């Protein structure tokens, strides 16, 4: 049986928690850690670089599981700004809702928001995959460069504004598309990709019901004769 450790933030500090996660947990034989009483505190479980499982039992604040590498972090509640910011690998899962900028600048790994995510979800993502079980706010996937955003619900205004090579799939309504984003036909490869990510996220939806949004690629180069109109 896997050894489970606990860490109580009502009695210990966030600094002590992250020190433990960085230096002690990988060396003491434990592969799972339960964090008790997070009470909306910020910067929990940041910078992990070990194949550990971390369960945050409650609501958490900003920058949860930032720069995650290899670990599997689950928040049993809601989170604030920038959960899984700059994720490199591993999995970060939020059982509730996420505030702005979920998965910002993520290079790899998987981010799952089981309910809704606020604005700028996936901003500047660089290769990670994000699955949102609910809806996302405005300017989601703004300047997304690589990776995949799957939204099972609706998408707010200016979806995919200044999009590069990332791909967005939306199961609900799209309020509006941002500059240089366009809806494209779903192919068999797209359906297979959405199905794979839904399975990984543990979300049951018909992958054929999604719409594909990708870049027009007209913003890759500045044109002097465009008169600043794009």
Percentage of residues in the chain having pLDDT higher than 90: 86
Mean pLDDT of 76-100: 98
pLDDT of residue 95: 98
Tokens 């600048």 correspond to 105
Joined tokens for residue 112 = 């799952």
Q: Average pLDDT in the 182-186 region? A: 98
What CATH class is the domain 38-218?
mainly beta
Alpha carbons within 13 A on the beta-carbon side of 153: 16
Q: Which pLDDT band holds residue 23 (cuts at 50, 70, 90)?
A: confident
pLDDT at residue 5, rounded to an integer: 87
Per-residue pLDDT, averaged over 93-110, amounts to 98
DSSP conformation class of 136 = B
Q: What average pLDDT does the chain have?
A: 94
Helix (H, G, I), strand (E, B) or coil at 225: helix
Q: Cα–Cα distances in Å, from 227 out to 161, 222, 224? A: 19, 10, 7
Full DSSP string of 62-99? SSTTTT-BS-EEEESS-B-TTTTTT--SSEEEESS-B-
Interval 34-45: pLDDT, tens: 999 999 999 999
pTM (whole model) above 0.85: yes
Residue 186 has pLDDT above 80, yes or no: yes
DSSP secondary-structure letter at 37?
Answer: -
Per-domain boundaries in the chain: 38-218
∠ Cα 24 72 210 (to 5°): 165
E strand residue ranges, 1-145: 4-8, 32-36, 53-57, 72-75, 91-94, 110-113, 126-132
| 115 confidence band (pLDDT: 50, 70, 90) | very high
Residue 30 in this model has a pLDDT that exceeds 80? no
What confidence tier does 1 reach under pLDDT thresholds 50, 70, 90? very low
Give per-residue burial for 120-130: e unless 16+ CB within 10 Å, then b. bbbbbbbbbbb
Residue 8, pLDDT > 50, answer yes
């Amino acid at each position: 049986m896997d050894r489970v450790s606990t860490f109580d933030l009502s009695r210990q500090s966030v600094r002590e928690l992250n020190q433990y996660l960085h230096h002690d947990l990988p060396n003491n034989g434990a592969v799972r850690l339960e964090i008790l009483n997070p009470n909306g505190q910020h910067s929990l479980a940041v910078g992990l670089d070990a194949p550990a499982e971390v369960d945050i039992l409650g609501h958490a604040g900003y920058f949860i599981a930032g720069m995650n590498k290899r670990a599997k972090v689950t928040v049993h509640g809601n989170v604030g700004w920038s959960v899984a910011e700059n994720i490199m690998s591993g999995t970060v899962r939020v059982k509730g809702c996420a505030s702005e900028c979920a998965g910002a600048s993520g290079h790899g790994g998987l981010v799952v928001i089981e309910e809704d995510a606020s604005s700028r979800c996936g901003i500047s993502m660089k290769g990670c995959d994000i699955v949102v079980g609910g809806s996302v706010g405005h300017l989601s996937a703004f300047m997304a460069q690589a990776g995949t955003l799957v939204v099972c619900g609706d998408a707010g205004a200016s979806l995919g504004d200044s999009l590069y090579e990332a791909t967005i799939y939306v199961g609900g309504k799209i309020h509006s598309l941002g500059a240089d984003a366009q809806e494209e036909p779903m192919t068999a490869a797209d359906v297979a990709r959405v199905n794979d990510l839904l399975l990984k996220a543990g979300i049951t939806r018909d992958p054929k019901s999604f719409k594909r949004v990708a870049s027009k690629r007209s913003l890759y180069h500045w044109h002097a004769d465009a008169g600043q109109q794009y």
